[in-house]
């Protein structure tokens, strides 16, 4: 069987380092925030090419606090895409603001800048593009439109650690960028984790206060805050894993390239596009086919685990029916939701496994 992802293989490769880091935290008795988390913040900020990073308990918390720090609240609108993980939209709802959707463009399946301007109203307070699957949204036109209207851009970079757009790292282009360290992400904790990054000193200060009960200093609560702090064990584990992230990313890019060479001329599936000037970090390698459900069944029977990211766009989810959207409102997202199929991709995969998956997709006998 070829699994969709293999976190045991990842752990096996770094066990000594991870175990030592965890034991060190246990012995230190410093369990929440503290020196390991602070060191990780400095190292992750440097990795993204930004001034500040604020470590949090989840990626969703990062999105929530980045929005609050940008002044988003009840009565405001935040523009995002419906073809994303639901957390993007939930974080907007947490602030009391209203999510407003624009469709994706069909090649990269990220926010279509050509449709952005029409969605802007006097209430628009922020724009949240999603760097889906590990490829950055088309940031130059998005930032240009946002700047012209005086609106902040907050990047949902939860799937895009190390992705680049014209040499700039994910998270470094907007007012702030938000990452998740959920175990299956390209950089994953041994539990939950997230981080917000920014070059803006004021955004940094606000997010830092909001994650720890709005305290400026102990028991001096300037803001109505949250308990969104990162555990020290996660900080220590993430420091270890960050040292491996570039080689893992290069392995993902190898496998992605290998799939694309093998399946680029397939008549069964369309392969994902890698746009010139953008570094795709292949959090997900999703092919498209009108026969998605039957291909998924065939692969399952052939011992290949796949996933769907995502089968229902957020505007059609029961939880968000109150937004008033209906089927047909975002045709590109709806088509993508019915056609995408995510193939196994993780750094520890072998080229041979990639070839087996590709052969199974082509429904040829295993090589
Ligand atoms: C994973 C993810 C999130 C949420 O991150 P958590 O750490 O699970 O809270 C938000 N947006 C996108 C696009 C994601 O993939």
Nearest to residue 36, comparing CAs of 59, 50, 20?
20
From ligand 1's centre to the CA of 367, what distance in Å? 36
Cβ of 159 closer than 6 Å to ligand 1, yes or no, is yes
171: alpha, beta or left? (left if phi > 0; alpha if psi -120 to 50): left
* Positions marked catalytic: 185
Q: How many CB atoms lie within 10 A of CB 70?
A: 26
Which domains, from first to last, does the chain contain? 7-102+113-242 (3.40.640.10), 245-361 (3.90.1150.10)
Q: Is 234 in the pocket of ligand 1 (CB under 6 A)?
A: no
Q: What is the C-alpha separation between 210 and 214, in angstroms, rounded?
A: 4
Question: 136 and 165 in contact (C-beta within 8 Å)?
Answer: yes
Q: 5, 56, 60, 65: which to mutate for ligand 1, most atoms within 8 A of CB?
A: 60
Q: For strand 194-198 and strand 52-56, is the pairing parallel, antiparallel, or unpaired? A: antiparallel
DSSP string, 236-263: HHHHHHHHHHHHHHHHHHHHHHHHHHHH
Eight-state DSSP code of residue 111? B
Q: What is the 363 CA–ligand 1 centroid distance (Å)?
A: 33
Q: Residue 152 is inside which H or E element, if any? A: strand 152-156
| Environment class of 158 (CB within 10 Å of its CB; exposed 0-12, middle 13-18, buried 19+) | buried
pTM of the model: 0.98
Exposure string over 91-130, b if 16+ CB within 10 A, otherwise e: bbbbbebbbbbbbbbeebbbbbbebbeeebeeebbbbbbb
Residue 230 Cβ contacting ligand 1 at under 6 Å: no
DSSP string, 163-205: -EETTEETTSSSSEEEEE--TTSSS--SS--EEEEES-HHHHH
User: How many angstroms does the Cα of residue 181 sit away from the middle of ligand 1?
Assistant: 8
Helix, strand, coil shares of the chain, percent, nearest 5, are: 45, 15, 40
DSSP state letters, 320-343: GGGG---TTSSHHHHHHHHHEEEE
Residue of 180, 162, 210 whose CA lies nearest to 48: 162
Q: Count CB atoms within 10 A of the CB of residue 90.
A: 16
User: Ligand 1, closest atom to CA 180?
Assistant: 7
**89 CA distance to ligand 1 middle (Å):** 10
Q: Which atom belonging to ligand 1 lies closest to the Cα atom of 131? A: 13
Ligand 1, atom nearest to 193 Cα: 7
**Residue with CA closest to ligand 1 atom 6:** 59
Retrieve residue 357's tokens: 């998956």
- Per-residue pLDDT of the chain (367 residues), as tens digits, is 999 999 999 999 999 999 999 999 999 999 999 999 999 999 999 999 999 999 999 999 999 999 999 999 999 999 999 999 999 999 999 999 999 999 999 999 999 999 999 999 999 999 999 999 999 999 999 999 999 999 999 999 999 999 999 999 999 999 999 999 999 999 999 999 999 999 999 999 999 999 999 999 999 999 999 999 999 999 999 999 999 999 999 999 999 999 999 999 999 999 999 999 999 999 999 999 999 999 999 999 999 999 999 999 999 999 999 999 999 999 999 999 999 999 999 999 999 999 999 999 998 644 4
pLDDT recorded at residue 364: 67
């Amino acid at each position: 069987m070829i699994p969709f992802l293999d976190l045991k293989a990842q752990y096996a490769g770094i066990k000594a380092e991870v175990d030592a880091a965890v034991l060190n935290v246990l012995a230190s008795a410093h369990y929440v925030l503290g020196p390991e988390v602070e060191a990780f913040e400095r190292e992750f900020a440097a990795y993204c090419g930004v001034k500040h990073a604020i470590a949090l308990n989840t990626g969703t918390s990062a999105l929530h606090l980045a929005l609050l720090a940008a002044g988003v609240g009840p009565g405001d609108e935040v523009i995002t895409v419906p073809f994303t993980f639901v957390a993007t939209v939930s974080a907007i709802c947490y602030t009391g603001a209203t999510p407003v959707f624009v469709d994706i463009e069909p090649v990269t399946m990220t926010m279509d800048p050509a449709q952005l301007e029409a969605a802007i109203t006097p209430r628009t307070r922020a724009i949240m593009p999603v760097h889906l699957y590990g490829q950055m949204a088309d940031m130059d036109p998005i930032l240009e439109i946002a700047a012209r209207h005086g609106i902040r851009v907050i990047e949902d970079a939860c799937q895009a650690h190390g992705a680049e757009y014209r040499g700039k790292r994910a998270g470094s282009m907007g007012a702030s960028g938000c990452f998740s360290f959920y175990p299956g992400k390209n950089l994953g904790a041994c539990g939950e984790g997230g981080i917000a990054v920014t070059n803006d000193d004021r955004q940094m200060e606000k997010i830092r206060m909001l994650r720890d009960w709005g305290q400026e200093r102990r028991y001096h609560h300037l803001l109505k805050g949250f308990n969104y702090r990162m555990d020290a064990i996660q900080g220590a584990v993430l420091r270890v894993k960050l040292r491996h992230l570039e080689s893992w990313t290069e392995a993902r890019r190898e496998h992605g390239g290998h799939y694309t060479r093998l399946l680029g001329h397939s008549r069964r599936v369309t392969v994902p596009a890698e746009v010139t000037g953008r570094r795709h970090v292949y959090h997900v390698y999703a092919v498209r086919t009108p026969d998605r459900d039957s291909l998924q069944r065939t692969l399952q029977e052939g011992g290949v685990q796949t996933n769907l990211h995502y089968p229902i766009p957020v505007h059609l989810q029961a939880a968000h029916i109150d937004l008033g959207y209906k089927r047909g409102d975002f045709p590109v997202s709806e088509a993508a939701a019915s056609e995408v199929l995510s193939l196994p991709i993780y750094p520890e995969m072998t080229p041979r496994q990639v070839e087996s998956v590709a052969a199974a997709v082509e429904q040829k006998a295993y090589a």
